[in-house]
Amino acid sequence: MKKHIAGGVALAVMFTAPAFGADLPMKAPPPAAYSWNGCYIGVSAGGGWGEHAGDRGIINSGNGTLNAGIGVPFGLDIEPSGAIGGGQIGCGFQTGPIIWGIETDIQGSGITGNATIYFPSPNGGITDATTATGEERLDWFGTTRARVGFTPMNSLLLYGTGGLAYGGVHSAASLVLTPPADGNYAGATSETKVGWTVGIGSEYAVSRNWSVKLEYLYLDLGTTNVRMVDPGRPGTFIDYSFSHRDNIVRVGANYKFY
Domains assigned to the chain? 37-256 (2.40.160)
Average pLDDT, stretch 48-62?
87
Q: What are the pLDDT digits (tens) for 124-143? A: 555 567 889 999 999 999 99
Instruction: Using the predicted structure, report yes or no on whether residue 17 has a pLDDT greater than 50.
Output: no
Q: What is the pTM of this model?
A: 0.81
Which of helix, strand or coil describes residue 119? strand
Instruction: Using the predicted structure, report yes or no on whether residue 112 has a pLDDT greater than 50.
Output: yes
Q: How confident is the model at residue 28 (pLDDT cuts 50, 70, 90)?
A: low
Instruction: Using the predicted structure, report yes or no on whether residue 170 has a pLDDT greater than 70.
Output: yes
Average pLDDT, stretch 251-258?
95
Q: What are the pLDDT digits (tens) for 195-228? A: 999 999 999 999 999 999 999 999 999 999 999 9
User: What are the start-end ranges of the E strands in 5-155?
Assistant: 38-50, 53-60, 75-78, 81-95, 98-119, 130-153
Distance CA(116)–CA(123), nearest Å, equals 22
Distance CA(51)–CA(38), nearest Å, equals 37
